[in-house]
Amino acid sequence: MVRPMPSGSRERFFSRLFPGEEWRRGREYGREGLISGACYGEGVWQGTVTGALGRYRVRVKRESGGWRMNCSCPSRQGRCRHAAALLYYWLREPEAFAPMAEVRRQLESLSRSEAVELLQLVAGEEGELLRRLLAGRKEREEKHRLPLEKLLRLVRNLGLETRSPWRSRQVWEERWYNLLLVVEEELRTEAGGKQKKAWEALLLLTEKLLDFITGFSLETVAAGYLLRLLEPLSTYAEEGIPRPVAAKIFGFYLRTPLTAGEEERFRAFLCRLAVVEGREAFSSLAWVEALHCEKEDQLPVVRWVHLAGELWPPGSEGFPVLARWCLEDYRRLLPLLDFLEEKEEYREAKTLLQAGADLFAGAGGRYLYRLRLAALHRALGEEKEALYLENLNFTERPGREEYFRLQRLAVKIGEWPRIKPGVFRALAGKAPALYRELQAMEAGNFPGPP
């Protein structure tokens, strides 16, 4: 039987309660049906989720002030993949959840001796929960904390097991994530030498993850792993990130396809790293990496130019060096122009483009040069200059969209009567079908564009 998928609006609502990677993994657990003993009622969801390392009791409660989530897994933040799995499973198969009202009716029907016997069974399974309920107050759960030396040994010994690759990968991910949660807790609560040991453990986890990603060829789908690490690495960056680790993270950023949001988060981390380590030390690493990659792929060059623009913006001492490097190759110059336009540095972009005019050789290069320069003239309010360049481009490659863009600009500045004859001559010679269409429109036989 094929189960109906959860409605999009409800799933989006629940997904916003969790970090992106936790919701993704929770959905996987929910789809696999790794939930048992589920019940729901009065805004409370309860159940047991089976993970790679054990079975975890989960409780999610919706309250007036927000959400409270508890899970017996090593996560101390509550909003883990197991809680996400429980909620996703409820969206997917609500009929699998026993109504809480039914449980209450069964309790009310118990005799005193049956109730005592049941409580004794509960004490054997959930003694701490029962103790807190009997005490009549909410106490924080005591947290067993590993000695830091033992935690470091666990991190150092983290490795793949000899089993099927898929299962081995799943177990490794679960262990890595659980160790990360413990390490983050130590970083937050310790100080001095103990915090340094926790930082050492975080760096080891980072190196393990980078090697794991490379070993499984996960670069195109592994951004979530590294994004999970960027926040603690940024927060405690003053402790010092070794150059090899920084180089691997930077290399991942350069060569891996990312969403706009992911790219922004990586770039923010690298800018933070440059502030801590010093931009000069960072630049030597970045230049070498970018120059090495550019012969094979344009993506690293685009990424590096955009990052370098953030580190050495127009007006800084390093910007002329960046500009000179970009003026050596149009594949470098175009990303820098894009960056400057995003920052609304139109005059700086125009100056650079004009300085690099020789890079745009051939008919195609000239067309691209005039197109980019015309757009910059328009952004600067220099509409006559823009009209001249767009008219040249239209004469070479007349098209319908280009015609109406040119016409609108010419009408706006009162130049349409002057250039119209030349525009139609170009149409008649190079685009006769479009010429006939526009002639008919001029005669009023059918409307033009909306």
3-state DSSP of 68-83:
EEEECCCCCCCCCHHH
Residue 200's nearest CA partner among 154, 264, 159, 260 is 154
CA–CA dist 443, 322 (Å, integer): 54
Q: Does domain 360-450 have CATH number 1.25.10?
A: no
Helix H or strand E encompassing 65: none
pLDDT in tens, 331-346: 999 999 999 999 999 9
Helix H or strand E encompassing 399: none
User: Which residues, in sequence order, are CB contacts of 312 under 8 Å at separation 6+?
Assistant: 279, 318, 319, 321, 322
pLDDT in tens, 12-44: 888 888 888 888 888 888 888 788 888 888 888
List, for the chain, all residue ranges whose pLDDT scores fall below the cut of 70: 1-8, 52-54, 65, 74-78, 122-146, 160-170, 215-222, 280-296, 444-450
* Backbone Cα Rg of the chain: 31
User: Which residues, in sequence order, are CB contacts of 47 under 8 Å at separation 6+?
Assistant: 35, 36, 37, 38, 39, 57, 58, 86, 89, 97
Could you tell me which residues are beta bridge partners of residue 63? 66
Q: What confidence score (pLDDT) does residue 294 get? A: 46
Q: What confidence score (pLDDT) does residue 412 get? A: 93
Burial code (b: 16+ CB inside 10 Å, e: under 16) for 313-340 equals: bbeeeebeebbebbbeebebbbbbbbbb
Residue 229's nearest CA partner among 281, 196, 260, 265 is 265
Q: What confidence score (pLDDT) does residue 143 get? A: 43
Give the pTM: 0.62
- DSSP class per residue in 270-288: HHHHHHHH-HHHHHHHHHH
Q: What confidence score (pLDDT) does residue 281 get? A: 59
Q: What confidence score (pLDDT) does residue 140 get? A: 40
Q: What confidence score (pLDDT) does residue 137 get? A: 43
Looking only at the bridges linking them, the beta strands covering 35-41 and 98-99 are parallel
Residue 90's nearest CA partner among 35, 42, 52 is 35
Residue 82 CA to chain centroid, in angstroms?
22
293 close to 300: Cβ distance less than 8 angstroms: yes
Report domain extents, the chain. Answer: 8-135, 147-210, 360-450
How many C-beta atoms surround the C-beta of residue 411 within 10 A?
12
CA–CA dist 56, 382 (Å, integer): 66
